Amino acid sequence: MNDKRALCVKNEQDIVGVLLYPRKYNMICCLAVDPDYRKRGIASLLLREALNKLDRDKDITVSTFRENDVKGIAPRKLYKKFGFEEDELVEEFGYPNQRFVLHANKSADNA
């Protein structure tokens, strides 16, 4: 676990948001926010912090739900807001996903 990193947001004792980013692969591999705490900017805060810690001289990738999956509406919007672009369709753990990529040195200033 030397190359793995995690960020979390707490509300007193409870963790309400988490993001995992293995630096070895320069990727976001998990972003989750408690449903009771969504639409408060927690996901943006976590993603912004992770992007500051990853190598912006290399592409950064993340996989999320496909466009036709209702669970993908919010995360796809978030990643696009940060400058990620749609990439290849993949299947992970038996579930159809889509990879997004933030190209090297691309600005995420709009987020």
Give pLDDT tens digits for 68-101: 999 999 999 999 999 999 999 999 999 999 999 9
Q: Is 57:26 a contact under the CB 8 Å cutoff?
A: no
Q: Is 70 helix (H, G, I), strand (E, B) or coil?
A: helix
The residue type at 79: Y
Q: Which residues contact 64 (CB under 8 A, 6 or more apart)?
A: 72, 75, 76, 79, 97, 98, 100
Residue 74: closest CA among 33, 29, 22, 24: 33
Q: How confident is the model at residue 1 (pLDDT cuts 50, 70, 90)?
A: very low
Residue ranges and CATH numbers for the domains of the chain are: 6-102 (3.40.630.30)
Which residues, listed in sequence order, are joined to residue 65 by a DSSP beta bridge? 97
| 32-41, 48-57, 68-77, 101-110: segment of lowest average pLDDT | 101-110
Q: Is 56:92 a contact under the CB 8 Å cutoff?
A: no
**pTM, to two decimals:** 0.88
When the pLDDT of each residue in the chain is averaged and rounded to a whole number, the result is 92
Q: In which residue are the tokens 């989750």 written?
A: 32
